[in-house]
Amino acid sequence: MSTTPQSTSTPRKILVLGATSGIAEATCRIWASQGASLFLVARNAEKLAAVAADLKTRGASYVDTAVADLDDTDQHPALLAHAVNSLTGMDIAYLAHGVLGDQLEAERDFNTAAQILHTNFMAPISLLTWLANFCVQRHAGTLAVLSSVAGERGRKSNYVYGSSKAGLSAFLDGLRNRIDREGVTVLTIKPGPTKTAMTAGMPRSEKFADVDSVAESIVSAIDKRRDILYVPFQWQPIMFIIRNIPERIFKKLNL
């Protein structure tokens, strides 16, 4: 898949929320090679500085950063306004903020479950509400959001994480229905298991999708103004099958 630099005369202005996640970092490497202007937000200052320095060496025309806990929704309006001012606009907002969480602990403790749901669902809704309204005012922009194939159907192995992503995907469906007519693209990205630091300790992780290939697919989908991306592509028919297994059978499966 080609990652040829864009032919636009000015660099694209891209806000990346959760910039130190494995998928986000791989995607940013492609954008940097295209000369994009990037504003990166993440919680870990040391990792964020390392990512920013790497992207500058790879050709990004501008890189600025903010260290922030994106779970703190009260700080979102000021953070996002600062990011947009730094970039002097925004063409793409790329939201990669999320956690897998501990399913077993979440089964035992509501507060653990609530934290997973807050990080993966409530915090993104806060960010997306501000960003959507910003883009609608300008009748332009792309909101690209990492959801997951895990949100397609609840399974015993990860239903707390899966339910947070199911809610996020449903929110994005409705948001797209509202603002697509205003000239704003909403892309729901549904990756299957991908080889990153977050999944390194998971069983059979060596068979997960290559993160650079996933990033290339994401960049291509954004460029094509796609609505929904399953990546790798085979997850679309796989999840179609899983969604349509009768519940009387599905409830007995170990998935």
Q: Is residue 131 part of a domain?
A: yes
Q: What is the pLDDT of residue 198?
A: 65
Annotated active-site residue 161? The verdict is yes
Mean pLDDT over 229-240 rounds to 94
> Is residue 4 pLDDT above 60, yes or no?
no
Share of residues in the chain with pLDDT > 90 (%): 87
Q: How far apart are CA 100 and CA 120, in angstroms?
A: 9
Residue 128's pLDDT is what?
A: 98
Asked if pLDDT for residue 132 goes beyond 50, the answer is: yes
Q: Percent of the chain having pLDDT more than 70?
A: 93
Q: Give the integer Cα–Cα distance in Å for 39 and 167.
A: 27
Query: Residue 1 domain-assigned?
Result: no
CATH number of the domain to which 112 belongs:
3.40.50.720
Residues paired with 231 in a beta bridge:
191
- For the chain, the domain total comes to 1
Instruction: Kindly indicate the confidence band of residue 9, based on its pLDDT and cuts at 50, 70 and 90.
Output: low
**Residue 6 counted as domain residue:** no
Q: How confident is the model at residue 236 (pLDDT cuts 50, 70, 90)?
A: very high
* Strand 37-42 versus strand 62-67 pairing type: parallel
Catalytic residue among 62, 94, 159, 161: 161
Please write the tens of the pLDDT for every residue from 133-170: 999 999 999 999 999 999 999 999 999 999 999 999 99
Q: Is residue 96 part of a domain?
A: yes
Range of the domain at 228: 13-251
pLDDT tens string 59-77: 999 999 999 999 999 999 9
181 within domain boundaries: yes
The pLDDT tens digits for 15-46 are: 999 999 999 999 999 999 999 999 999 999 99
Residue 200 pLDDT level (bands cut at 50, 70, 90): low
Q: Return the residue matching tokens 């697919």.
A: 217
Q: How confident is the model at residue 209 (pLDDT cuts 50, 70, 90)?
A: confident
pTM (predicted TM-score) = 0.91
pLDDT at 199: 66
* Inter-residue contact 107 to 157 (CB < 8 Å): no
Instruction: Output the average pLDDT for the chain.
Output: 93
pLDDT band at 7 (very low <50, low <70, confident <90, very high): very low
At 207, list the tokens. 């068979």
pLDDT digits (tens, 9 = 90+) for 81-103: 999 999 999 999 999 999 999 99
Q: With 60 as the cut, is the pLDDT of residue 192 above it?
A: yes
Q: Does residue 3 fall inside a structural domain?
A: no
Q: How confident is the model at residue 14 (pLDDT cuts 50, 70, 90)?
A: very high
- Does 2 have pLDDT greater than 90? no
Is residue 245, in this structure, part of any structural domain at all? yes
